[in-house]
Amino acid sequence: MAQVSLALADADTLFLKKLSAYLHKSIPHLSLELFTEPQAFKKWVNKMGDADLVVISAQFYRQLGSIESNNSILLLRDCAGSFLPEKVKSINKYIPAESILKEILSVCAEKIPGYLYHEKGSGKITTVFYADGSDAFNPFAQALAYYKASEGDKIIYLNLDEFSNTDLFFSGNNDRGLSELLYYIKSKKDNLYLKTEACFSTDMTTGISFMKGHNNPDDIKKLSQEEISTLVNIFKNQYSSWQTIISKAFTYDLITSFLLKEASKVYITGLNYPTSIERLKRISAVIIGYEEDEKIALKDKVVFCISPAANGQRHANNCIEGFSTLTLPYWDFESSGLFPPSQYYISQLKEAIGNC
Q: Classify domain 4-97 at the CATH topology level.
A: Rossmann fold (3.40.50)
pLDDT at 1: 47
Between these two residues, 64 and 246, which has the higher pLDDT value? 246
Yes or no: say if 119 and 240 are a contact pair by the CB < 8 Å rule. Answer: no
Yes or no: say if 142 and 157 are a contact pair by the CB < 8 Å rule. Answer: yes
The residues pairing with 8 across neighbouring beta strands, listed in sequence order, are: 34, 55
281: which residues sit within 8 A by CB, 6+ positions away? 320, 321
pLDDT at 55 over 70: yes
Between these two residues, 113 and 175, which has the higher pLDDT value? 175
Do 124-171+202-354 and 4-97 fall under one CATH topology? Answer: yes
* 188-230 pLDDT per residue, tens: 877 787 888 889 999 989 999 999 998 889 989 899 999 999 9
Average pLDDT over residues 337-341: 86
So where are the chain's domains? 4-97, 124-171+202-354
d(CA 352, CA 224): 36
Q: In what order do the strands lie in the sheet with 265-271?
A: 201-202, 209-210, 155-159, 243-249, 124-130, 265-271, 302-307, 324-327
Q: In what order do the strands lie in the sheet with 4-9?
A: 30-35, 4-9, 53-57, 73-77, 90-92
d(CA 141, CA 273): 20
Average pLDDT over residues 114-128: 69
Q: What percent of the chain stands above pLDDT 70?
A: 91
* 269-303 pLDDT per residue, tens: 999 888 999 999 999 999 999 999 999 999 999 99
The CATH class of 124-171+202-354 is alpha beta
pLDDT range class, residue 112, cuts 50, 70, 90: low
d(CA 202, CA 355): 31
Average pLDDT over residues 44-64: 87
